[in-house]
Structure 1
Amino acid sequence: MKANTNPTDLQAITPVEALRLYLESKVDEWATATKELQQFHLNEFVEWLAEEDIDDMRNISARTVHRFRLNIKGDIAQSTLSQRVSSVRRFLQFCTTIDAVSPSVPERVEIPNRDTEARTETLEADHAEAALDYLERFAYASREHALLALCWHTGIRTGTLVALDVDDVEPAQNRLRIRHRPESDTPLKNGTTAERYVALSEDVAEVLEDYINHKRKDIEDDYGRMPLFATENGRAPVKTLRRWFQATTRPCIYGTECPHGRDKNECAAAQSMSNASDCPSSVSGHPIRRGAITHFLRKDVPEKVVSDRMNVSTDVLEQHYDRRTEDEKAEQRREYLDGL
């Protein structure tokens, strides 16, 4: 079908309906895993459009996609960001064939470079430990304490945190079960290959158990499941976890002097959780994951163990997550070799 080249002749259609038509058009072309991944990427885009009150595909521009890109980039690796924007562009290319989007829109969408622009923002261990010490003393087993403790201890993805249910926590065995459940809107990035058990320390398992038993609100999601992290409206989405992480990692919250020379009483980021992202030191889930991975490696945990625990290949781990300096790596190798 030839795309319409006259923007005035575009036909109204909602993002939800356009996505349905797109996925139907790929039924015989995509493998199941590909379909699940694309649907996961594009559901996020469509949900964001709803939050922005964009209910007609005709109103989407290249600037819209750029704003979406800025919205998600803090929580994912650069290579993943490239994949997701590529998925959106392919969707928009399809939309031009049904007279829903101007052909100029997908042509102007810029795909982020997968490698050379890899982000290096990282939560350092002293920052994480200071935040956790504060939460341990003054907000024990709170939602924020459970969330940060779990993410720092396991290094799991924000999307995986979203997917967790209460019964995925097994405190008696000191472990966490991670499951791919696309049929109820909690897919894992790497599908069924990402399913695994993750060992928990006794301390973290106890925090999670106390959070579940005493602090977590009794909330179900739309499928009758009991999400580990929830809001009044159901399962907490990635954007909400991002805000909670940013609020928890502001240095001024746990008593540290502002590293940016700001007056806490006059700083909007310090005064309001909703403005926490304005703090240059606050971070979202992906920098915490990167920091946790680096922390494990600095503690001489073998790369293969870290790779399996965090569900990331050793190549990607080295390129996008390992923030150790070359000097640090050399000294760690020396310790192994000195006794030979």
Structure 2
Amino acid sequence: MTLEPIEPEIAVESYLKAVSNELAKSTQYAHKSRLGHFVRWCGEQNLDNLNELTGRKIQQYRVWRREDGDLSKPSEKTQMDTLRVFVRWLESIDAVEQDLHVKVRSPSLSPEENARDVMLERETADKVLSHLRKYEYASRPHVSMALLWHTMMRVGAARALDLSDYYRKEQYLEVVHRPETDTPIKNKQRGERLVAVSDEIAEVIDDWIQDRRPDVVDEHGREPLLATSQGRPHPTTLRKYCYQQTRPCVYTKHCPHNRDIKKCPATDDQEPYSCPSVVSPHAIRRGAITNSLKQDVPEKIVGDRANVSQDVLEKHYDRRSEREKMEQRRGYLDNL
């Protein structure tokens, strides 16, 4: 087989175009981010033709990525699993030797390790939202963060909301699967639900709509609730709010990592990801779910509100310790 030369950056761009109709946009974004590190490594190694990629070089990249990003085992596995998919695609276009993907190794995880623990703690969430309420009241970042924490929604569901999905008098939101107009939600029709909001959250939404929301429609003629001047926000925009607002230097004015805030690259609103303290939307969702469970909200109610099954709730979202669960059960002993 004759290999056809291809540069790493061009290969990644071609791969993302090739899978654009197969992967969800959020997955495409994740793959682009993870493979960006691979492109960076290739640049450092002067590897400008992927024909030269070997099993040994892949192992060198694995070690480099682990040390460069100070990755946990679950994070390392995610990085290498994405690289394996990419290398398999490279095989299909004769860019690397056949079966090279089998040499892409990633760590095996125990069930405990596979359930990720990163989450936004209640105390931190309160500080973030208090800062937004004081300094950016009823702004798009404020409304977005408040909704994600209070309703436990996924980013896709928050982005899909229209003005007509907010019932002001009854104080609830209706999550609807509308793939034909570019707002699918996870679990499709099974993910559709009514989500009640508190007086405080309703007040923020009301003030956003009345005073700050741009009067626009999206390309399908719908009125997005979390509107931008261009229409409906991209999922990346909402994710970026999460990273931006969970930087400690934003809500405390101090850095717990002893960085010079004036020189730290993470203070750039376009590059908040390099701050070790920032958390993803998924971590916010996990923290909100765990907080509700700690407040003795029944698991069935939390699961229905967050649109997550009992099994998935226990495996991926419930981060209460066994001691915390025992103490909560103790409160019911008098009724036995």
TM-score, with length taken from structure 1: 0.73
**Cα displacement (A) at 1:240:** 1.7
Residue 44, structure 1, aligned to residue 44, structure 2: no
- CA distance 1:93–1:236, shift in 2 (3 Å): same
- CA distance 1:45–1:112, shift in 2 (3 Å): farther
Q: Give the secondary-structure state (helix, strand or coil) at the position aligned to 2:153.
A: coil
Q: Distance in 2 between matches of 1:216 and 1:139?
A: 13
Task: Name the structure 2 match of 1:266.
Answer: 263
- Name the amino acid aligned to 1:235: R
Which one of the candidate residues 280, 285, 289 is aligned to 1:284? 280
Contact residue 171 and residue 206 of structure 1 kept, 8 A: no
Q: How many residues align?
A: 299
The sequence identity of aligned pairs, in percent, is: 41
Q: Give the secondary-structure state (helix, strand or coil) at the position aligned to 1:44.
A: helix
Matches within 5 A, 1:84-95: 89=85
**Cα offsets for 1:271-307 (capped at 9, x unmatched):** x212322222221201100000011001000001001
Task: Name the structure 1 match of 2:309.
Answer: 313
Structure 2: state its 5+ residue gaps.
40-48, 67-73
**Cα offsets for 1:70-108 (capped at 9, x unmatched):** 9xxxxxxx89x97xx78x94x9868966x5865557656
Matches within 5 A, 1:12-31: 18=18
Task: Name the structure 1 match of 2:192.
Answer: 195
Task: Name the structure 1 match of 2:42.
Answer: none
Residue 163, structure 1, aligned to residue 160, structure 2: yes
Task: Name the structure 2 match of 1:128.
Answer: 125
**Cα offsets for 1:42-80 (capped at 9, x unmatched):** 98369959xx8x9xxx989999xx9xxx9xxxxxxx89x
Contact residue 138 and residue 207 of structure 2 kept, 8 A: yes
Contact residue 269 and residue 278 of structure 1 kept, 8 A: yes
Contact residue 5 and residue 50 of structure 2 kept, 8 A: no
Task: Name the structure 1 match of 2:235.
Answer: 238
Residue 119, structure 1, aligned to residue 103, structure 2: no
Which one of the candidate residues 208, 222, 231 is aligned to 1:211? 208
Which one of the candidate residues 319, 331, 334 is aligned to 2:330? 334
Q: Distance in 1 between matches of 2:137 and 2:254?
A: 22
**Cα displacement (A) at 1:249:** 1.3
**Cα offsets for 1:241-282 (capped at 9, x unmatched):** 121111111222223543223343333323x21232222222
Q: Distance in 2 between matches of 1:139 and 1:167?
A: 24
Q: Give the secondary-structure state (helix, strand or coil) at the position aligned to 1:177.
A: strand
Q: Distance in 1 between matches of 2:251 and 2:30?
A: 37
Q: Give the secondary-structure state (helix, strand or coil) at the position aligned to 1:8.
A: coil
- CA distance 1:162–1:95, shift in 2 (3 Å): farther
Give the root-mean-square deviation of aligned CA atoms. Answer: 3.9
Q: Distance in 1 between matches of 2:279 and 2:134?
A: 21
- Name the amino acid aligned to 2:297: V
Q: Distance in 1 between matches of 2:208 and 2:219?
A: 22
Q: Which has the higher contact order (CA 8 A, sep 6+)?
A: 1
Q: Give the secondary-structure state (helix, strand or coil) at the position aligned to 2:195.
A: strand
**Cα offsets for 1:281-340 (capped at 9, x unmatched):** 221201100000011001000001001110111111111111111111110000111343
Q: Distance in 2 between matches of 1:284 and 1:42?
A: 12
Task: Name the structure 1 match of 2:43.
Answer: none
Structure 1: state its 5+ residue gaps.
24-37, 71-77
Which one of the candidate residues 4, 11, 27 is aligned to 1:8? 4
- CA distance 1:59–1:173, shift in 2 (3 Å): farther
**Cα offsets for 1:118-167 (capped at 9, x unmatched):** 32111000100011112112211111110111111011112222222222
Q: Distance in 2 between matches of 1:192 and 1:201?
A: 25
- Name the amino acid aligned to 1:181: R
- Name the amino acid aligned to 1:146: V
- Name the amino acid aligned to 1:315: D
**Cα displacement (A) at 1:233:** 4.1
- CA distance 1:101–1:211, shift in 2 (3 Å): farther
Contact residue 40 and residue 187 of structure 1 kept, 8 A: no
Task: Name the structure 1 match of 2:44.
Answer: none
